[in-house]
Amino acid sequence: MHLGLKDSKVIVTGGASHIGRAIVLALAAEGANVAIVDIDKAQAERTAERARARGAADAHVVAADLTDLDAAERACQEAMQRLDGISTLISNAGANRPDFFLKLDPKGWRRTLDLNLTAVMCCTRAVLPAMIDGGGGAIVATASTAALGEQRQSVYAAAKAGVVAFVRTIALEYGRHGVRANCVSPGLTLPEDAESLGAQSLWNDRDAVMNDAQTDYVVKATPLRRLSRPEDIARSVVFLASPVAARQITGQTITVAGGFAMR
């Protein structure tokens, strides 16, 4: 199926590593023009180079710490300038160090909320006027199965539940302007390999994120008995970004977790 993404203008936040990298490369295979907004400039440049080789119309890099909301706004404006417009925003940036609620430092709550929720709001606010002026566009945000509630994920879960509610509301408010807004909700998704991670990725300390015993629990609790891979998430994101395949889809959340959320 022709997805209608060739020469489209797409911003991918957190596009340097892991799931974000897979999203960038999947868009590249469709011939999209991509701007990677990420704190890890070196890894973003490597991903951009791979994207061009994969078939991207072009791939740009804008370095920014999205927990700095002014920087997030500036980064999106720069990305739109580099792209000469905007078709799609993929709000993918996010991170979490799981632990039980009483073990979490309250000083860290703000960064978790800012990166996983407030940055989504800020980037959406930055691109919406241009989408409206251009007759529409697509917003796809990365949520999480944790949004349904999950042990060791309290603040992160609250942030991701907020993302789902926020995106649904954007779909309601701006659909009349041709803006579609949806979420993809991954479960546990392990990195492909070291090459897919930048130096600043939390996954470099695998045990701090999800150790082997915890991973085994997730696999056994998943009906399909396998974990998602980054490209599984990327395919769903590209589907929702498509103005052809997902033309009438808005306000929805696609869970890509092998059935884990049904447990």
Look up residue 262 and give its amino acid: M
* pLDDT, position 262: 74
* CA–CA gap between residue 195 and residue 105 (Å, rounded): 31
pLDDT (tens, 9 = 90+) of the chain, 263 residues, equals 789 999 999 999 999 999 999 999 999 999 999 999 999 999 999 999 999 999 999 999 999 999 999 999 999 999 999 999 999 999 999 988 888 999 999 989 999 999 999 999 999 999 999 999 999 999 999 999 999 998 999 999 999 999 999 999 999 999 999 999 999 999 989 887 766 776 666 656 666 666 778 788 888 888 889 889 999 999 999 999 999 999 999 999 999 988 887 76
Of the candidates 229, 253, 261, 228, the one whose C-alpha atom is nearest the C-alpha of residue 150 is 261
Of the candidates 35, 135, 132, the one whose C-alpha atom is nearest the C-alpha of residue 81 is 35
Look up residue 229 and give its amino acid: R
Q: Which residue's entry shows tokens 């860290």?
A: 108
Give the domain ranges of the chain. 9-262
Of the candidates 163, 151, 215, 224, the one whose C-alpha atom is nearest the C-alpha of residue 189 is 215
- Say yes or no: domain 9-262 is CATH 3.90.190.20: no
- Active site residue ranges: 156
* pLDDT, position 14: 97
The residues that bridge with 138 in the sheet, in sequence order, are: 88, 180
- Answer yes or no: are the C-beta atoms of 124 and 163 closer than 8 Å: no
* pLDDT, position 229: 94
Torsion, Cα 18 22 25 26, to 10 degrees, reads -170
* pLDDT, position 40: 95
* pLDDT, position 207: 61
Using alpha carbons, list the distances in angstroms from residue 66 to 50, 112, 120. 23, 11, 9
* pLDDT, position 200: 66
- Answer yes or no: are the C-beta atoms of 246 and 236 closer than 8 Å: no
**DSSP designation for 260:** G
* pLDDT, position 206: 63
* pLDDT, position 119: 97
Look up residue 136 and give its amino acid: G
- Residue 17 token pair: 């590593």
pTM of the model: 0.95
